[in-house]
């Protein structure tokens, strides 16, 4: 058995994989593969409708918001957001808390002025800045809720005088949020929702159409809303698997129930890291992520032997990002707590071997 701690594409529920595999051969008994039916067919339209319905139900999306399944990953949203929200000559505000936040603000600079309200770059993003003022004259304020590479997470969101745009790629559906606090939420599917290939966007309708820009159709939220996520051929398979995963989440009791599991998983793992003399967590305690647990060896020479031990025990995806080093345990919704205990056992065994 493999214990998949990969940062993304990440682990999916086994029952979802079985259903998806069956649909590739014969979708719902119609004698055709999901991969070869028309996206305009009644069968796929039912899938898309169900996926949108589940997003609204699980996140309690209020009226006045549209739910989209788009292509291009969260990285395309780095450009779509300013294209749609930032007027010519206008300003946007960004919180720089990691690599992806940095990439997002770089894209925004093509469209107007960018004010970085705060950054933790000087510490290699080991904490999330908190003491700053959000400029009321900016078109929007962009944040990243969870920093996959560095293992930091916003546990509380900032009150803002302007629309908040949030990249939730690595912690969407992992905890309760108040969608009404945001102008736009976007998230690549490949962490907690489905396979790579589609990006969830939740957008407050009233903030659109004010930039004064002429926007290419594929990058225009309004066009995508009017097309019902089907302005062009959508990523059929990725949306279907996302729908299955959201149904799985609903069957487990929804976001509130999975949040309790996620906190329990991260708690026992951080406790072992703090207790074990061979390992050390890398980021500020108050900003530790419940999704991506980053830690290093106190002795750099222990890194390769520990990775070898993990491999022997079926633990995969544990190597840290090159910019941080060490180890990263991504503990997304579908990872059972039993896998956490396998990792903890490996850490304890390694400590015994290296007293």
Q: For strand 141-144 and strand 91-96, is the pairing parallel, antiparallel, or unpaired?
A: parallel
Does residue 307 register a pLDDT over 90? yes
- The model's confidence at residue 355, banded by pLDDT at 50, 70 and 90, is confident
Per-residue pLDDT of 46-87, as tens digits, reads 999 999 999 999 999 999 999 999 999 999 999 999 999 999
- Can you list the positions of beta strands (E) in 120-204? 141-144, 146-147, 152-153, 164-167, 184-188, 199-204
* Percent of residues, the chain, with pLDDT higher than 90: 99
DSSP secondary-structure letter at 179? Answer: G
CA nearest neighbour of 291 among 259, 320, 252, 250: 259
Collapse the DSSP code of 72 into the 3-class scheme (helix H, G, I; strand E, B; otherwise coil) and give the result.
coil
Instruction: Give how far the C-alpha of residue 3 lies from the chain's centroid of Cα atoms, to the nearest Å.
Output: 20
| Cα–Cα distances in angstroms (integers) from residue 22 to residues 29, 230, 249, 305, in the given order | 10, 25, 20, 39
Active site residue 100: yes
CA nearest neighbour of 4 among 346, 340, 350: 340
Asked whether 152 and 126 are in contact (CB, 8 A), the reply is yes
DSSP secondary-structure letter at 147? Answer: E
Does residue 1 register a pLDDT over 90? no
Does residue 247 register a pLDDT over 90? yes
DSSP secondary-structure letter at 288? Answer: B
Per-residue pLDDT of 315-328, as tens digits, reads 999 999 988 899 99
pLDDT, averaged across the chain: 97
Per-residue pLDDT of 226-242, as tens digits, reads 999 999 999 999 999 99
Distance CA 233, CA 236 (A): 8
Per-residue pLDDT of 91-116, as tens digits, reads 999 999 999 999 999 999 999 999 99
Helix axes 254-275, 236-251, angle to 10 degrees: 80
- The model's confidence at residue 157, banded by pLDDT at 50, 70 and 90, is very high
CA nearest neighbour of 149 among 345, 5, 316, 328: 328
Domains (range + CATH), the chain: 14-251 (3.40.640.10), 253-353 (3.90.1150.10)
The pLDDT value given to residue 323: 85
The pLDDT value given to residue 55: 98
Catalytic position from the list 91, 156, 171, 191:
191
The pLDDT value given to residue 192: 95
Residues forming a β-bridge with 292? 330
Catalytic position from the list 18, 53, 56, 100:
100
Distance CA 228, CA 66 (A): 9
Distance CA 245, CA 239 (A): 10
Asked whether 204 and 183 are in contact (CB, 8 A), the reply is yes
Distance CA 205, CA 221 (A): 9
Catalytic position from the list 49, 56, 167, 313:
167
Active site residue 248: no
Neighbours of 89 (CB within 10 A): 8
Per-residue pLDDT of 260-273, as tens digits, reads 999 999 999 999 99
**Cα four-point dihedral sign 101, 102, 103, 104:** positive
pTM score, two decimals? Answer: 0.97
């Amino acid at each position: 058995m493999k214990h998949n701690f990969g940062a993304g594409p990440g682990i999916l529920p086994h029952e979802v994989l079985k259903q998806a595999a069956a649909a590739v051969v014969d979708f719902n008994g119609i004698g055709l593969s999901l991969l070869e039916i028309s996206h305009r067919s009644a069968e796929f339209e039912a899938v898309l409708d169900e996926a949108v319905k589940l997003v609204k139900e699980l996140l309690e999306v209020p009226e006045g918001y549209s739910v989209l399944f788009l292509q291009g990953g969260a990285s395309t949203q780095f450009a779509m957001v300013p294209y749609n929200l930032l007027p010519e000559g206008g300003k946007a505000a960004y919180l720089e808390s990691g690599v992806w936040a940095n990439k997002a603000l770089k894209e925004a600079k093509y469209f107007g002025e960018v004010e970085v309200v705060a950054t933790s770059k000087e510490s290699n993003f080991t904490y999330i800045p908190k003491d700053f003022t959000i400029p009321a004259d900016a078109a929007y304020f962009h944040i990243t809720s969870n920093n996959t590479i560095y293992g930091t997470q916003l546990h509380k969101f900032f009150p803002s005088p302007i629309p908040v745009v949030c990249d939730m790629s690595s912690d969407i559906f992992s905890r309760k949020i108040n969608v009404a606090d945001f102008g736009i939420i976007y998230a690549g599917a490949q962490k907690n929702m489905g396979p790579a290939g589609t990006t969830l966007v939740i957008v407050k309708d009233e903030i659109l159409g004010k930039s004064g820009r002429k926007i290419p159709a594929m990058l225009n939220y309004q066009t995508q809303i009017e097309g019902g996520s089907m302005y062009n051929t959508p990523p059929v398979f990725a949306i279907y698997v996302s729908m299955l995963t959201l149904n799985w989440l609903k069957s487990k009791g929804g976001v509130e129930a999975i949040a309790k599991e996620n906190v329990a998983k991260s708690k026992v793992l951080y406790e072992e890291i703090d207790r074990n003399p061979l390992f050390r967590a890398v980021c500020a305690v108050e900003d530790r992520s419940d999704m991506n647990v980053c830690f290093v060896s106190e002795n750099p020479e222990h890194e390769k032997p520990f990775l070898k031990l993990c491999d022997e025990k079926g633990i995969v995806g544990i190597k840290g990002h090159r910019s941080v080093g060490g180890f990263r345990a991504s503990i997304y919704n579908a990872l059972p707590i039993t896998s956490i205990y396998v990792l903890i056992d490996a850490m304890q065994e390694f400590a015994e071997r290296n007293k």
